[in-house]
Structure 1
């Protein structure tokens, strides 16, 4: 598969329905069965993905610090949008920020290698931590940054051949 741009990526918010992570297949099926609300006017999707904590140990005998992999952290997305007070997805994000509940999220990338394939999709659950408005100067577009703290594994569905 060739590289591609982020253009065409779509972000969605679902409800607070719990997802069974017993297996990837079970969780993906549960995510695919949900109703999704598109989040409009996304300018920057930030970055997501696991990073292990750096756990260090200092050995007295050789004076070396050893690095070990600790807990995995999928990160916090800084989702930047053009502030649209009537966009259903942005309304849902602002409402989610007022709660302490985990919400379901979906990111679909426009990365199908040909017309015979589907796009790849990421699914995860997270907390909407903030909904800050960026005002800026006179000619700036009003923006809002939603910080979404990811609390689960990110499940990826790779492009699949859709030909019959």
Structure 2
């Protein structure tokens, strides 16, 4: 049977660069993205055990969507990377979109926690940009 795995090749990462209060987002692509990972959060556990319980009883609390990171080859002139750096310096909550090759996407709000750089002999300058998600992650159907 043929694999149904989805290739990550062709994924695109965007930051919303529209002016505050704009009716529609202005999605600015971040170039030179090599890989991404995230949505690694989890819900908290609430202990609801009482004196009538015969074992621990729990409920799930609110989900914390965790963090998201992208690995990039740094481009000091890329509008997407410039916007990410500006968001980090401003400590501002920004909107992001990860678009998959099949046209579906996830959108979320996050803070740019860090934008470190690394370089060396016979290497390009790279960064693993870390985002802290605030609020829900919304999945958008292809073509929506």
TM-score normalised to the size of structure 2? 0.81
- 1:61, distance to aligned residue in structure 2 (A): 8.7
Alignment deviations for residues 16-71 of structure 1 (CA, whole Å, 9 cap, x no partner): 6469xxxxxxxxxx6xx311111011112112265212344677898955443122
Q: Secondary structure at the match of 1:151?
A: strand
The question of whether the paired residues in 2 share the 8 Å contact of 1:50 and 1:72 is answered with yes
Cα RMSD, aligned residues only:
2.6
Q: How does 1:93-108 map to 2 (within 5 A)?
A: 93-108=84-99
1:73 match:
64
2:8 match:
6
Distance in 1 between the 2:84 and 2:91 partners?
A: 12
The question of whether the paired residues in 2 share the 8 Å contact of 1:43 and 1:81 is answered with yes
The question of whether the paired residues in 1 share the 8 Å contact of 2:40 and 2:67 is answered with no
Distance in 1 between the 2:10 and 2:113 partners?
A: 25
Distance in 2 between the 1:102 and 1:91 partners?
A: 15
Task: Note the residue ranges of structure 1 that are not aligned, 5 or more in a row.
Answer: 20-29, 112-118
1:44 match:
35
Alignment deviations for residues 99-146 of structure 1 (CA, whole Å, 9 cap, x no partner): 1221111111102xxxxxxx10111111111111123x4233321121
Are positions 1:131 and 2:118 aligned together? no
Task: Note the residue ranges of structure 2 that are not aligned, 5 or more in a row.
Answer: none
TM-score normalised to the size of structure 1? 0.72
Distance in 2 between the 1:94 and 1:42 partners?
A: 15
> Is the strand fraction higher in 1 or 2?
2
1:110 match:
101
Give the aligned length: 140
- 1:84, distance to aligned residue in structure 2 (A): 1.1
The question of whether the paired residues in 1 share the 8 Å contact of 2:114 and 2:131 is answered with yes
